[in-house]
Structure 1
């Protein structure tokens, strides 16, 4: 009897070990390190939500830009060297421009889903071996941090850091865009390589850019999409139940992410002001120009890479009333 009990117990332990071994390990590349609040305060809670809401045992391991530089991450994920990607569409603009259009919209993900924009972007990524899982939006948008205040001539004569999506806006305000990864912004401002830097309204505090820039431009513009993508083969390896659970959890968390970012943006603004940064405002003419050029400029730029896909997205956005 003892032998039988021992055999049963050993068998149970073996089954448990086998079950543990069957946990699906996924590697996620993030375009930002943990200094960016959108990683610690948004991505990690999203991963926890997926863990709680899915039946299948999935472990998602996050690797930052020290593993693969931010602008080079799309290809290894699409080829299956990594399973997931947390990024912004402007970071891989030269490879596919559909994701960049998300930042030009004016509406949360529910509005984009209902209008078909979300699905149109997903369709384009599937063509290169990726599945759009979620768009975690910071609806507070972008701003430009400056060493000197805005003048009547806007950004005339100034060099401003910005990935390609910012270029039409920077140029419309008279500035010259300079492409730099986020990690190079501090020394570039410190040394005068650039006179300002465009970035989401959340992030400057963690990177301490208030030490090398004294002003934050208003009004803000656009909205910041943090895309969660999955290698399509990895996605297809999941069972239908797990796929449905991930889709439901992602759609729910997209709404929650808006609230999280609102809180982060308010805290950010307060901290920047306490650290000595001041608001510098565009005149009304410049502000109106910025508002108009953001949507059209971003989509026109995206259309230089994927004209047919972007035209579909533009039409859907206009019909849904989320066109900037």
Structure 2
């Protein structure tokens, strides 16, 4: 693998024209490894948020624990490859590692869209249980491995939902709006509700909202602060699509050529930062709602009937289409439903997971959308 030669290697990064030294040999004869990581996200805003642990702390700890036998360069905001193209760039070995939401790679690896299936998860604990302890997660990892990519760790990105320039309290409110989506798999569902679709990179969403090219996005609410969407968004909608989950991956050949002791350090560090990111995800959720309230972003909550109608439409037009892609996606949906039912039986307190995000308020002439005074909702 050209990225891990025992000498000083300078390789042009095809997509950017920059170069990187990947491996060398010190005077004492010990090999050192320089890994390049590309991220589809902006840099972390706080030193305690999930993305910070997943990328910054992970790389720092690996450097420390290997006594700088492994070092990293990090490039944020799609600097080395676009969020969709990065799957091919990583698999080819254009660079070594990639932070990304798997749904961005759906056109290359369709199984990964599962993390964007609305209402698929019930919080951070359920999310990591499905990914780490079930056949569902095994199938997800296999789809990456088939493409020449190894999963390192996940990072939950706190609550995700619709952010928009107009209130969205029901599916009918989406009629005529332009929504940004990670994949065309969502097209059927949004056509059913009368919405148009755009596929704009996340790093360009701010401009799209500012110019009116986009009316709404599905994205973590913390970005109101960290991406400054508070300047271009007037409403957030509940229930949330909890939580968004991204991952850090590595080119399989690069991984295979690392010594076993370094692999063990990286795996242990991945497990550590994954748990830290899960806890930070919860903290980011609380901060996101506080920030929205303090900055006059109106919180809109669906009533229970509208929520159940939306969930039914999502299962029919989104889950169904995903399951029909291939045998693996069909099995992933089967396992997701089976394991989730089993997990909820063992964790009954999560059966009402979406309840705090809903209101039984049925609307009225004076206040059709804003349910912030309804005490049944804990967030608006």
Give TM class, smaller chain.
0.7 to 0.9
- Alpha-carbon deviations, 1:198-243, whole Å to 9, x = none? 1122322122211122110111014212111111101111223332
The answer to whether the 8 A contact 2:26-2:32 is kept is no
Structure 1 pair 26–294 and aligned structure 2 pair: CA distance change class (3 A): farther
The answer to whether the 8 A contact 1:299-1:310 is kept is no
The answer to whether the 8 A contact 2:53-2:276 is kept is no
Instruction: Output the TM-score relative to the length of structure 2.
Output: 0.72
RMSD of aligned Cα (Å): 2.8
Does the alignment pair 1:141 with 2:159? yes
Does the alignment pair 1:22 with 2:41? no
Does the alignment pair 1:63 with 2:44? no
Structure 1 pair 320–193 and aligned structure 2 pair: CA distance change class (3 A): same
Q: Is 46-55 or 237-246 further displaced after alignment?
A: 46-55
Q: Is 259-268 or 20-29 further displaced after alignment?
A: 20-29
The corresponding residue for 1:289 is 309
* Displacement after TM superposition at 1:317 (Å): 1.9
- Alpha-carbon deviations, 1:168-210, whole Å to 9, x = none? 6645554322211122222222222222121122322122211
Q: Summarize the alignment of residues 185-224 of structure 1 with structure 2, pairs less than 5 Å apart.
A: 185-224=205-244
The answer to whether the 8 A contact 1:54-1:242 is kept is yes
Aligned length, in residue pairs: 307
The answer to whether the 8 A contact 2:57-2:273 is kept is no
Q: Is 272-281 or 48-57 further displaced after alignment?
A: 48-57
Q: Summarize the alignment of residues 40-51 of structure 1 with structure 2, pairs less than 5 Å apart.
A: 40=52, 42-51=54-63
The answer to whether the 8 A contact 1:143-1:201 is kept is yes
The corresponding residue for 2:100 is 87
Name stretches of at least 5 consecutive residues in structure 1 with no aligned partner. 1-15
* Displacement after TM superposition at 1:296 (Å): 6.3
- Alpha-carbon deviations, 1:247-279, whole Å to 9, x = none? 233223222211111112222221222222010
- Greater relative CO, 1 or 2 (CA 8 Å, sep 6+): 1
Distance (Å, rounded) in 1 between the aligned partners of 2:315 and 2:53: 28
Correspondence for 2:43 among 29, 34, 43:
34
Q: Summarize the alignment of residues 111-130 of structure 1 with structure 2, pairs less than 5 Å apart.
A: 111-130=130-149
The corresponding residue for 1:321 is 340
Instruction: Output the TM-score relative to the length of structure 1.
Output: 0.83
Name stretches of at least 5 consecutive residues in structure 2 with no aligned partner. 1-24, 345-380
Structure 1 pair 249–117 and aligned structure 2 pair: CA distance change class (3 A): farther
* Displacement after TM superposition at 1:135 (Å): 1.5
Distance (Å, rounded) in 2 between the aligned partners of 1:94 and 1:46: 28
Does the alignment pair 1:307 with 2:320? no
Does the alignment pair 1:274 with 2:294? yes
Q: Is 288-297 or 55-64 further displaced after alignment?
A: 288-297
Distance (Å, rounded) in 2 between the aligned partners of 1:215 and 1:19: 60
* Displacement after TM superposition at 1:28 (Å): 0.8
Structure 1 pair 27–291 and aligned structure 2 pair: CA distance change class (3 A): same
Distance (Å, rounded) in 2 between the aligned partners of 1:87 and 1:193: 24
Which aligned runs of 4 or more in structure 1 are off by greater than 4 angstroms? 35-38, 52-56, 165-174, 292-299
SS in structure 2 at match of 1:23: strand
